[in-house]
Amino acid sequence: MDRRKFFKNGSLFAIGATILNPFEGNAKELDFDTLKKNTKAKNIIVIVSDGMSIGTLNMADIYLNRKTGKGSNWIQLYKDNKVTRGLMDMASASSIVTDSAAASSSWGSGFRVKNGSLNVGVNGEDYLPIWQKFKKAGKMAGCVTTVPITHATPAGFCVASKSRNSQDSIAEMYLDLKFDIMMGGGNNYFSSESRKDKRDLYQEFSNNGFSVVKNKSEMFACGNSKPILGVFYNDGLPYSKDRESSKELTGTIPTLAEMAQRAIDKMKNHPNGFVLQVEAGKVDWAAHGNDITGLLYDQVAHDEVVKLAIDFAEKDKNTLVIITTDHGNANPGIIYGRDADANFDSIQNYKQTNEWILNGIGQETTVSQLIDRIEYANKTILKQDEAKEILNFYSNIKLEEGLYNPRHLPFKLLADIQKKYNSVGWISMDHSADYSELAMYGPGSDLLKPFIKNTDLHYLMLEAAEVENKF
């Protein structure tokens, strides 16, 4: 770390600084230690909306504004001029369009790596991830997410792996590295019933001193004396709207904000501070599926964490909050039209995601049953020919590809049909090379320039916390 860069006018600080109050005309001396405390980030909270194109941010703000009269917490920070704002170039070592593994690794290692890899350089060299650096510096560290805790974005801050798909191995690495709190989905990578090697990682984590929790009640009930592993679903957690619409899921699955609050409560009293990554990972999954309900309501869930973190940082005074996304995805937006306002407002009445709609359809489903299902989920009545077109996919007449779509369900077709009724359009079902929105609040936020390279964020975090990059 270049301390001269962080402590601007270093020679002045070296001899003690004189601060002039222009209104009183009196000189007040502040010693070096006081100045250092005023600039150092003891804690860092990184909040990532995975796969958030700018249209997603816009739509969440417009949705909240039209529904509640108050927009999103993120945009309100811009309106109130409370954050430093920039754009970030997220290209990877192999493409101008990154994947989540390379994106997180650029922040995690300070180097651009190839898509699909985690903190492994282009020549095969392993880089030490940033959460390991902060652990070595004496801080507590953790991640919470709505996708598997072994997924690309949390893993990019924690481990080095040639392939992001090695989630069984990543779970084993977490056991050895002993991070302080790791929560999300991913039962498939910890359970002996799902792992190919039949290892019971839950038992191994417990034997190694962890509190292992598998539902919301257990998460809140466990103490803070042990590191916590929380795994609440087989793969990614249910979408926020599907969770909200189910009493069972609401009772057992924590929200992203609840997980984030639990993580902060566990680590906030640590004398050396903490670092925490919070990921709204299913924003990306919804974008891949052109699923407006999944996308919008999970972005709102992310926005709840923004408020939670800023509220904590305002009281704490020692916390740097970083709010960003790792790449664009599908570039959705509200499309011009005579009925655009009313159409977009109709999403306020949606009860279920497109994933819920499509997974409940089979070859035996009739046209009238499908129309009823979508009317229940969207308060929209499809035409007969629209329903028939969707059902064709279930007769193996057509197949639709796409990430996180193992059953080849017609997500794109349903989104295209919905566009007539909600005025939301999509350009694709995959990542885009958007520059990423980046906002910072708290000590160290002044280090952010208006435009940075993704790898710069790694060094900014170290610099803000005054952790020497010597590992």
The pLDDT tens digits of the residues spanning 116-142 come to 999 999 999 999 999 999 999 999 999
- 30 forms beta bridges with 17
- Listed by start position, the domains of the chain span 3-38, 41-332+432-465, 346-425
Q: What is the pLDDT of residue 471?
A: 84
Give the C-alpha separation, 431 to 88, whole Å: 15
Judged against a pLDDT cut of 80, whether residue 411 lies above it is answered with yes
Average pLDDT over residues 46-70: 99
Query: Which of 232-236, 282-286, 466-470 is the least confident region?
Result: 466-470
Residue 183 tokens, joined: 């929560």
Backbone φ/ψ region at 330: left (φ over 0), alpha (ψ -120 to 50), beta: left
Q: What is the pLDDT of residue 408?
A: 80
CA distances from 45 to 230, 373, 440 (A): 19, 40, 10
Q: What is the pLDDT of residue 94?
A: 98
Query: Which of 9-18, 88-97, 112-121, 412-421 is the least confident region?
Result: 9-18
Tell me which residue has tokens 């299913």: 282
Give the C-alpha separation, 321 to 130, whole Å: 16
Tell me which residue has tokens 């949606």: 350
Using DSSP bridges, classify how beta strands 319-324 and 43-49 pair: parallel, antiparallel or unpaired: parallel
Q: What is the pLDDT of residue 405?
A: 64
Give the C-alpha separation, 353 to 282, whole Å: 12
Q: What is the pLDDT of residue 402?
A: 64
Judged against a pLDDT cut of 70, whether residue 196 lies above it is answered with yes
Judged against a pLDDT cut of 50, whether residue 14 lies above it is answered with no
Judged against a pLDDT cut of 80, whether residue 35 lies above it is answered with no
Q: What does CATH list as the number for 41-332+432-465?
A: 3.40.720.10
Q: What is the pLDDT of residue 2?
A: 46
Residue 141 tokens, joined: 């560290």
Average pLDDT over residues 133-155: 99
- Distance from the Cα of residue 342 to its chain's centroid: 30
Of the two residues 422 and 405, the one the predictor is more confident about is 422
Q: Count CB atoms within 10 A of the CB of residue 41.
A: 27
pLDDT tens digits, 223-236: 999 999 999 999 99
Query: Which of 14-18, 345-349, 414-418, 433-437 is the least confident region?
Result: 14-18
Q: What is the pLDDT of residue 6?
A: 39
Judged against a pLDDT cut of 90, whether residue 398 lies above it is answered with no
Q: What is the pLDDT of residue 186?
A: 98
**Is the Cβ–Cβ distance between 126 and 108 less than 8 Å?**
no
Average pLDDT over residues 303-328: 99
Q: What is the pLDDT of residue 102?
A: 99
Q: What is the pLDDT of residue 7?
A: 35
Tell me which residue has tokens 């919804």: 286
Residue 290 tokens, joined: 């052109």
- What global pTM score does this model have? 0.91
The set of residues, in sequence order, having a beta carbon less than 8 Å from that of 54 and lying 6+ positions away, is 328, 434, 437
Judged against a pLDDT cut of 80, whether residue 5 lies above it is answered with no
For the chain, the straight-line distance linking the first and the last C-alpha, in angstroms and rounded, comes to 12
What are φ and ψ of residue 441, in 5° steps?
-135, 140
Q: What is the DSSP string of 97-124?
A: S--HHHHHHHHHHSS---TT-BSB-TTS
| Degrees to nearest 5, angle at CA 395 with 392 and 398 | 60
**Is the Cβ–Cβ distance between 329 and 418 less than 8 Å?**
no
Residue 226 tokens, joined: 């042990």
Give the C-alpha separation, 101 to 69, whole Å: 37
Amino acid (one-letter) located at 248: E
Q: What is the pLDDT of residue 232?
A: 99
